Amino acid sequence: MRVYFDNAATTALDPEVLKEMYKVMEGQFGNPSSIHSHGREVRTLIERSRKTIANLLHTSPAEIFFTSGGTEADNTAIRCGIVDHKLTHAITTKLEHHAVLHTLQAMEKAGVIKLSYADVDGNGNVDYDHLETLLKDNDRSFVSLMHANNELGTITDLQKAGDICEAYNAIFHSDTVQTVGHYAHDLSKLKVHFMVCAAHKLHGPKGVGFLHVNHKVKINPMIYGGSQERNMRGGTENVYGIVGLAKALELAYAEMDEHQRHIQELKSYMIGKLKQEVPGVEFNGEVDPSKSLYTVLNVSFPAMEMADMLLFNLDIAGISASGGSACSSGTDIGSHVLTAIGANPDRPSVRFSFSKYNTKEEVDYTVNKLRELCMVNA
C-alpha cells in the first residue's frame, strides 16, 4: 500500500482542476498583455479568475494580486509593507514559516527594523497580552502571525489579533497558506491588511498563488519589469496556473463542509488509534478541534535508538509523511517550531497531514507500521 500523509507540504492536483487548465493550454495561448483578440481572450480568463476568488473571499477583485505562490506573496507583503510605510519595528513569533521568519530576520540584520517575538505557549498559541505589550511599547509596527501553523496545526484567532493590531494602528499580515480553501475567510470582516495563498495547498497547481492587499494600505511592487497585475507585479502572468487556482478554490468552497467532516474524522480516528496501539505517544500542538487545523497532526514518539530513521522506515513501508525533532544544540538542523515550544529533542516527531483523498484504511496501515517500528526500536 502507498499512503500520502504529507498534504501540508503539497496536495494532489484535483482532476477537475487539471481539466480546466488543459482547456486553456489546448487552445488559448495569447499573451494577456497583447491588445489583439488572442491576448484579450486570455486577459478575460485572468480577470474572471480574479473575480471568482474575490467573490469567495468577500473582497474586491482590485485587492487580489497573482503571484508565484505563498513565499513571493509573503515577501512582497513584508518587504513592501515595512519599507513603503517607513516602519522600523516588526512583531512575529518564532513559529512562523521561514518565508516569513527569514525575511524579517534578514531585514533586521540589514538594519531596516527592530524585530520582536510575541510569546507562545507549549502548544504554539500566541500570547495576545504580550502582543499588545509589544505594540504598546514600540513605534507603529508591522505584525506577522500565521493563521495556522504548518507543523503543529495550532490556529491563531485572526479576529482577535486584528482587533489588537487595529487598536495600535499596526499593519497586520497573516500567512494563510495552510487555511485558504480549508476555512472560509470573510475579508469584509477580518481586520487583516495582507493575506496569502498557494494553490498547491488546496489541490491546485504548483507555482501560483495570490496576495490580498487591503485597500487601506498602498504598496509599491517588489518585482518590476512590466505593467502586469495593475502595475503591482512585473512579468507575464501564469495563466494556466491562475485558472487552476480559481477552479481549485471554487471546488474547495463548494465541498468545504463535507471535506472538513471527513478529514476531522480521520484525524480524530488516528489520534485514538495511536493512543491505543503505540505506548508513550504524545501530540505536539493543539489537538482540540476548535483550536487546531483539522488537516495536521504532529505526533511525538518515545525516544528510540534509530529515531533519525523513523521517516526513512515509513517511506520504505510506502508511507509519505514529514517531521523531525527539536534542535538539541545550536548546530542541529531540527524543527525551529518544535524547539520554540520546548519539545523534547530526544523524541522523534512526525507530521501527518490529511486531504479529502485519505481513508481510514490508510490510517490503520500507518498506525500498524508505527507500532512495529516503535517495538523494534524500543
The gap from C-alpha 45 to its chain's centroid, in whole angstroms, comes to: 26
What average pLDDT does this structure show over 355-369? 98
What average pLDDT does this structure show over 360-371? 97
pLDDT of residue 260: 97
Fold entry, domain 15-254: Aspartate Aminotransferase; domain 2 (3.40.640)
pLDDT above 90 for 305: no
pLDDT of residue 24: 95
Tell me the CA end-to-end span of the chain in Å, nearest whole number: 25
Alpha-carbon distance 92 to 108, whole Å?
12
With bands split at pLDDT 50, 70 and 90, how would you rate the model's confidence at 325?
A: low
Q: How far is CA 47 from CA 34, 40, 164, 257, 313, in A?
A: 15, 10, 34, 27, 47
pLDDT above 50 for 95: yes
Q: Which CATH architecture has domain 3-11+255-377?
A: Alpha-Beta Complex (3.90)
pLDDT above 90 for 162: yes
Answer yes or no: 197 catalytic.
no
What average pLDDT does this structure show over 277-294? 92
Q: Where are the domains of the chain?
A: 3-11+255-377, 15-254
Cα atoms found within 13 Å of the Cα of residue 318, Cβ hemisphere only: 8
Q: Which residue has the cell 517550531?
A: 337
pLDDT above 60 for 331: no
pLDDT above 80 for 66: yes
% of the chain beyond a pLDDT of 90: 90
pLDDT of residue 376: 63
E strands, the chain, in order: 3-4, 64-67, 89-92, 114-117, 141-144, 171-174, 194-198, 209-213, 282-284, 296-300, 319-320, 322-324, 349-353
Instruction: Write the single-letter amino acid at 299.
Output: V
Alpha-carbon distance 261 to 279, whole Å?
28
Instruction: Write the single-letter amino acid at 222.
Output: M
What average pLDDT does this structure show over 200-208? 98
pLDDT tens digit sequence for 220-237: 999 999 999 999 999 999
The gap from C-alpha 370 to its chain's centroid, in whole angstroms, comes to: 27
pLDDT tens digit sequence for 24-63: 999 899 999 999 999 999 999 999 999 999 999 999 999 9
The three three-digit cell numbers of residue 159, written as one number:
479576529
pLDDT of residue 354: 98
Handedness of CA 134, 110, 195, 337 (dihedral sign): negative
Instruction: Write the single-letter amino acid at 301.
Output: F
Radius of gyration of the chain (CA): 21
Averaged pLDDT score across all residues of the chain: 94
Lowest mean pLDDT among 33-37, 174-178, 242-246, 308-312: 308-312
Which member of 80, 197, 327, 374 is catalytic? 327
What average pLDDT does this structure show over 107-124? 98
**Residues 192, 113: contact at Cβ < 8 Å?**
no
